[in-house]
Amino acid sequence: MTATAETTGQSSPEQLRTAMVEALRSIGAVRTDRVAAALLAVPRHVFAPEVPAAEAYEPERALVTKRNEHGLAVSSVSAARIQAQMLEQADVRPGMRALEIGSGGYNAALLAELVGSEGEVVTVDIDPFVTERAEKYLGEAGYERVRVVLADGSGPVEGGPFDRIVVTAGAWDLPPAWTDALTEGGTITVPLRMHGLTRSITFRREGGRLVSVSAEVCGFVKMQGADAHDEFLVLPRGTKEIGLRFDELERPDTSRLGGVLETPRAEWWTRVTVGNQEPFDSLYLWLASSLPGFGLMSVDSELDTKTVAPANRMACPVIVEGGSLAYLALRKISDGPAVFEFGAHGFGPEGGPLAALINTEVRKWDREHRAGGGPTFTAQPAGTPNDQLPDGLVIDKTHVRLTISWP
Q: Going from the first residue of the chain to its last (407 residues), give the mean pLDDT of each consecutive group of 10, the final group possibly shorter.
A: 46 95 96 98 93 93 69 69 96 98 94 97 94 95 96 90 94 95 97 95 97 89 75 95 96 95 97 93 96 97 96 96 98 93 98 98 97 94 96 96 96
| Nearest Cα to Cα of residue 330 among 314, 315, 318, 345 | 345
Count helices and strands in the chain by DSSP H and E runs: 10, 19
Whether 162 and 44 map to the same domain: the answer is yes
Active site residues: 78
Whether 100 and 164 map to the same domain: the answer is yes
User: Around Cβ 117, how many Cβ atoms within 10 Å?
Assistant: 8
What pLDDT, on the 0 to 100 scale, is given for residue 4? Answer: 41
Output the domain CATH number for residue 45.
Answer: 3.40.50.150
Interatomic CA distance for residues 347 and 99, integer angstroms: 48
Structural domain for 388, as ranges: 376-405
Work out how many domains the chain is built from and give that number: 3
Interatomic CA distance for residues 354 and 16, integer angstroms: 51
Q: Cβ distance 200 to 86 under 8 Å?
A: yes
Whether 387 and 345 map to the same domain: the answer is no
What pLDDT, on the 0 to 100 scale, is given for residue 71? Answer: 57
Whether 78 and 153 map to the same domain: the answer is yes
Cα-Cα-Cα-Cα dihedral sign, residues 39, 124, 64, 193: negative
Q: Cβ distance 32 to 21 under 8 Å?
A: no
Whether 54 and 118 map to the same domain: the answer is yes
Q: Cβ distance 227 to 171 under 8 Å?
A: yes
Q: What are the contacts of 13-21 at 24+ separation with CB within 8 A?
A: 13/43, 13/45, 13/53, 13/57, 16/45, 16/53, 16/54, 16/56, 16/57, 17/43, 17/44, 17/57, 19/57, 20/44, 20/57, 20/58, 20/59, 20/80
What pLDDT, on the 0 to 100 scale, is given for residue 11? Answer: 86
Whether 95 and 12 map to the same domain: the answer is yes
Interatomic CA distance for residues 222 and 398, integer angstroms: 16
* CA end-to-end span of the chain: 66
Q: Cβ distance 194 to 395 under 8 Å?
A: yes
Q: Residue 121: exposed, middle, or buried by beta-carbon count in 10 A (0-12, 13-18, 19+)?
A: buried
Whether 159 and 267 map to the same domain: the answer is no
Whether 364 and 380 map to the same domain: the answer is no
Whether 34 and 182 map to the same domain: the answer is yes
